[in-house]
Structure 1
Amino acid sequence: MKKELRRQIIQARLDLSPEAAAEKSETIIQKLISLPAYQEAGTIMTYVAFNQEVETKGLIKYSLSQRKRVLVPVTVKKDRELIPSEVFHFPGDLQPGTWGILEPKPECFRPVSPSEIDMVVVPGVAFDKNGNRLGYGGGFYDRFLGKLPKTSRFVAIAFELQIKDNVYHQEHDQPVHWVITEEQVIKAK
């Protein structure tokens, strides 16, 4: 069931026109930066969009302009882990990494302790209104989010088409505090 739901949602996301995806992404990012939790956060980790996910370029650039510390994940495939790395120059610090997703160049790798992260902007395939997420199946974010301080806040950004009644979550899955789409802000926990 999870595999089929992943396939359906990813295809629906890819079926959005680039213009529609860009417009929806901009609306979602505006809602995110209006959140008091975002405004209060000094250190933010965000994914770098790939494969028609909600676009994060604007968020990264805006956050840097607001003098926030911006971190992006470096994927260590063999250990199935994410390492947060600080970005000073976007997109100049980055190059295609694991799965073709932009990651810091080796000379720009600046690891940061997870204990310093105030907010994580989390990717995913599907979400429910309780903040449960269906990821891509590797468990990278579930393991990573489980290591963060209780004070860290997790925000999923997604297109409305990614909101489902059931995402078949399991006990080890880490829920998010908010899910933000172009149509709504869901306070989940």
Structure 2
Amino acid sequence: MNVNHKSDFRKSCIKKLEFSSRFSKFYKDKIIIKKLENLIDKSKAKNILLYIPLGTEVDTKPLINKLRKNKNKNIYVPFMYEDSFKIVKYRLPLHRKKFGIKEPNNSFYKAQKIDMAIIPIVGVDIIGKRIGFGKGMYDRFFDRLGYKPILVFTQLTLCKSDEILSEKHDIQADYIITS
């Protein structure tokens, strides 16, 4: 795999996402959130890892707020920790941290085993492996997790390579949900 090729693909996807997020983002978000709700119901996932979105990512905040009202669901989000992250229960207030990412306060609460993880992507390669922002945080997290929850990738508009750009350690989706 050519690292420059992966980097060029990442840059082109980010440009596509920035352009896409200017047009019909609210409408695309609603479509994707509805698909996520249906998948969560169908899978009967109880412990769900979501993300707090950046501007070009699917806005998961309405889904987080809806699921938090359900007493049978536990919502977790990533909390940057060392070279990866740990999962913490979603709660307010949120604070802007490294890379402009918002996070709740740190928690020493031991999270439940997650059933499903909803993960933003920059793109995917031909075999459905995630191309992210290039920090490897999600890859390291899932490599260290010790079990595999259902992995769901989200993106406003699918950006897919027609070749293999991933490496062995890159995570692969069970589902990819776009508008």
TM range (shorter): 0.7 to 0.9
Query: Could you tell me how far 1:80 is from its partner in structure 2?
Result: 0.9
User: What do you get for the CA RMSD once the two structures are aligned?
Assistant: 2.1
Counterparts in 2 of 1:45 and 1:112: CA distance versus 1, 3 Å: farther
Greater RCO (CA < 8 Å, at least 6 residues apart)? 2
Percent identity over the alignment is 29
Q: Distance in 1 between matches of 2:104 and 2:149?
A: 23
- Equivalent residue for 2:45? 41
Q: Distance in 1 between matches of 2:173 and 2:158?
A: 18
Count of equivalent residues:
174
Q: Deviations over 1:37-79 (max 9, x none)?
A: 6651111111111031111111211211223111111112xx2
Query: Bigger CA drift: 24-33 or 161-170?
Result: 161-170
Which one of 2, 7, 23 corresponds to residue 6 of structure 2? 2
- Equivalent residue for 1:87? 90
Which one of 158, 165, 175 corresponds to residue 162 of structure 2? 165
Counterpart AA for 2:171: Q
Q: Is 1:74 the equivalent of 2:71?
A: no
SS in 2 for 1:22: helix
Q: Is 1:120 the equivalent of 2:117?
A: yes
- Equivalent residue for 2:136? 139
SS in 2 for 1:75: strand
Q: Deviations over 1:106-143 (max 9, x none)?
A: xxx22455661111111221024643111111111001
TM-score normalised per structure 2: 0.86
- Structure 2 unaligned runs (5+)? none
Q: Distance in 2 between matches of 1:111 and 1:38?
A: 31
Q: Is 1:30 the equivalent of 2:27?
A: no
Counterparts in 2 of 1:40 and 1:159: CA distance versus 1, 3 Å: same
Counterpart AA for 1:72: V
Q: Note if contact 1:114-1:147 (Cα within 8 Å) is conserved in structure 2.
A: no
Q: Distance in 1 between matches of 2:41 and 2:150?
A: 8
TM-score normalised per structure 1: 0.82
- Structure 1 unaligned runs (5+)? 183-189
Query: Bigger CA drift: 10-19 or 119-128?
Result: 10-19
Counterparts in 2 of 1:153 and 1:37: CA distance versus 1, 3 Å: farther
SS in 1 for 2:88: strand
Which one of 4, 8, 16 corresponds to residue 20 of structure 2? 16
Counterparts in 2 of 1:115 and 1:29: CA distance versus 1, 3 Å: same
